[in-house]
Structure 1
Amino acid sequence: MTEANTPPKKRGAKLKSFLGWTFLVIMLALAGFLYFQYYFVFGEGVKSGYLNYAVKKGNLFKTYEGKLIQEGFGSGRAGALTSNEFVFSVENDSIFQVLETNSGKFFDLHYKEYHGVVPWRGNTKYIVDRIVQMK
């Protein structure tokens, strides 16, 4: 067949093509949003302080959680002094084992900060990925 003999595209085919491209664009936008919200590392740094606790907890997903008490005081509310606390999650079993057996010691912990929390990674948006130093 030549171009002159081909029938024009039907209206239904154009609509299907449009809906297919729209669906693809929406799925890509959703995937980009989910990546940015839950897997893009927003910030990283080091926090120092005394390890208050390291626990494994959770109803459906058992995650490793901990709290670091930082030196110095901040004012949580007017007229009162409160200690600075850094609540974090840990993904790595070996890092958790070191923290669990050395509660009360001074740690420098490197962490990554995410925009959102996923339940299988932990209860916080701060994920400790390595121990810089322990005293």
Structure 2
Amino acid sequence: MANHKRSLKSKIKSLFIKLLIGLVVVCALILWMSSWTYSEGTRAGQLIKLSEKGVVFKTFEGELNLGGLRTGNTNDGLEGNLWQFSVLDESVISDLIKAEGKRVKLGYKERYKAMPWQGETNYFITNVVVIEP
């Protein structure tokens, strides 16, 4: 009977270790995917919004008016052609604050999936260039 108890304890311990290792591997894969750059490029338009948002995780989010109109997702008609983005870098945030309301060209990287502490979108701004009229 004592051998049976040890065997059961050993099996439970082995199962727990396997589950723990599996959980660590899954978490590592999710974190790796959140840092993987899916695409990168630039977009130009008028910077109309930059704000710090969030209840638990405070992130900087912005909107760029790309110009023109597009049909909405619902039957409400036309809406502005707005592009939403997130910002991680403090120096980029200060550049965006200075450029708010101006025409800008924003360099960005699109991540496969953003974690909640990174931002609300998958688009992260890497640099800001003010377009002079």
One-letter identity of the residue aligned with 1:95: V
Task: State whether structure 2 residue 104 is matched by structure 1 residue 107.
Answer: yes
> Rg larger in 1 or in 2?
1
Percent identity among equivalent residues? Answer: 29
Task: State whether structure 2 residue 6 is matched by structure 1 residue 46.
Answer: no
Gaps of 5+ in 1: 1-10
- 1:1-135 to 2 correspondences below 5 Å: 24=21, 27-28=24-25, 30-36=27-33, 38-76=34-72, 77=74, 80-131=77-128, 133-135=129-131
Go from structure 1 to structure 2 and tell me whether the alpha carbon gap of 1:29 and 1:55 turns closer, same or farther (over 3 Å shift). closer
Gaps of 5+ in 2: 1-6
Contact 1:55 1:100 in 2 (8 A): no
The number of residue pairs the alignment matches comes to: 124
Go from structure 1 to structure 2 and tell me whether the alpha carbon gap of 1:122 and 1:29 turns closer, same or farther (over 3 Å shift). closer
TM-score, normalising length from structure 2?
A: 0.73
TM-score, normalising length from structure 1?
A: 0.72
Q: CA RMSD in A?
A: 2.7
SS at the partner of 2:97?
helix
